[in-house]
Amino acid sequence: MKTFVTDEHQKQAVLALKALVSHESVLNENEAGPGQPFGPEVVAALDEVLKLCASLGFKTFKDDEGYYGYAEVGEGEQLFGLLCHMDVVPAADQAGWQTDPFELIERDGLLIGRGTQDDKGPTMAALFAVKALMDAGVTFEGRIRFIFGTDEETLWRCLEKYNEKEESITMGFAPDAEFPLIYAEKGLLQAHLIGPGTTEFSLRAGGALNVVPDRASYASNQLSKVQQALDAHGFSYEKLENGLLVHGKSVHAKDAPEGINAVSRLAIALSDVFDFPPLSFLGKLVGENATGENVVGKTEDEASGELSMNFAELVITEEATKIGLDMRIPVTVNKDELVKKLSHKAAQYQLEYKEFDWLAPLYVPLESELVSTLLSTYRDCTNDMTEPMVSGGATFARTMKNCVAFGAMFPDSPDYMHQANEQWSVAELRKTMEIYAEAIYRLWGK
């Protein structure tokens, strides 16, 4: 393999990353306005990266509403896309930072600062990989476009706007996950089941739909009987001054079968005490099952595995019942048919299905040119034969056709994403640049 990336490219990538990290590009809708829908710092980071790209010889464009920007090089109708984002999660509310999160510190071979792993660091690795190809005189089969989103950490409104206004890519990848690559991302469906209320008891338990709840409190009627039911099932709990707190084990909703759902456990105990159909749906029908099998039957496919179904929220008042759930749907399963089954079963318990959010699945076959080339490049560069992955999570790759998540974290990379002291090693930055340069050369170089 030809060597494209030099020490100078690495040095320039670190300097560029330093400039980007200095922007506290966290969603701030309180200061949103014309041209800055997600706040001034987010659009400042977008401006920074576009200015950088222009200085490297790219043609740049900024959406007049401030949702996204892009930078491209090359000519032709075909378009290779790299889907990146300039927004980051907050750092101010996280204890434990040993440095200023928005000042890039290089220490002991590490690059420390918010965004070094997610996603400013990998974005710079990809950008300077392409710059290395340009400097080596490589020409391309078509255009290469870096698409810079600004709302990845929240609602993806940036790429929704991009897809409304701009042309589709021919193929591409998002440098915002793990090597070797993710070729399938399950459909992500969040919904509420709404039913009648009751005067017998009340509760509010759980919260975020994408997390298995690790605690659920109860402070209403029949406390002693509910406690006896918890004991009978062997569920962990503690007595509070005015009620009970059921314990569970929290994991991401995509891994729901690996967690212990405290809301489900509380519902099981309550349904032993109260005869209330909406409660029985969760306490008697679902129980602790987290694959949806008790509700819609066994649901899986060869490409991406089994359905997960996380019941994360339970609210019962005099007026209404609301059950919140998160499903990660296998890539070849028909969403509408699944919803039909769920709605039919829920109706038997006086519950009505209400969709909250839906992200369509990603699936690019292993034998495709994109996946096979990216995978072979990674293996040739690393001698790592780790198999490509299926994920219940979500990356920007699923917003466009023929696109996958490709790096930039290695299988043994410490995960500092969204954590205090976020950091990425200089060695991994360099290796990622080399992998990206070779992969883009094989797919798009002449």
Q: Which are the catalytic amino acids?
A: 87, 152
Q: Which two tokens stand for residue 212?
A: 């298995």
Report helix, strand or coil for 358: strand
Q: Which two tokens stand for residue 194?
A: 């709404």
Give the start-end residues of each E strand in 127-243. 143-149, 171-174, 177-178, 182-185, 187-196, 203-206, 215-218, 237-239
Maximum CA pair distance of the chain?
77
The CA dihedral of 256, 262, 263, 267, to the nearest 10 degrees, is 120
**Residue whose pair of structure tokens reads 């690790």 in the numeric block:** 214
Q: Is 38 left (phi over 0), alpha (psi -120 to 50) or beta?
A: alpha
Residue 19 burial by Cβ neighbours in a 10 Å radius (0-12, 13-18, 19+): middle
Q: Which residues pair with 220 in a beta bridge?
A: none
What is the sign, positive or negative, of the torsion defined by CA atoms of 391, 186, 307, 372? Answer: negative
Q: Which residues pair with 329 in a beta bridge?
A: 187
Amino acid at 271: S
Buried b / exposed e along 238-256 (16+ C-beta atoms within 10 A):
eeeeeebbbebeebbbbeb
Q: Which residues contact 100 (CB under 8 A, 6 or more apart)?
A: 113
**Residue whose pair of structure tokens reads 């590009």 in the numeric block:** 25
Of 15, 7, 16, 6, residue with least CA distance to 71 = 16
Q: For residues 170 and 382, give the distance between their C-alpha atoms in angstroms, rounded to a whole number.
A: 27
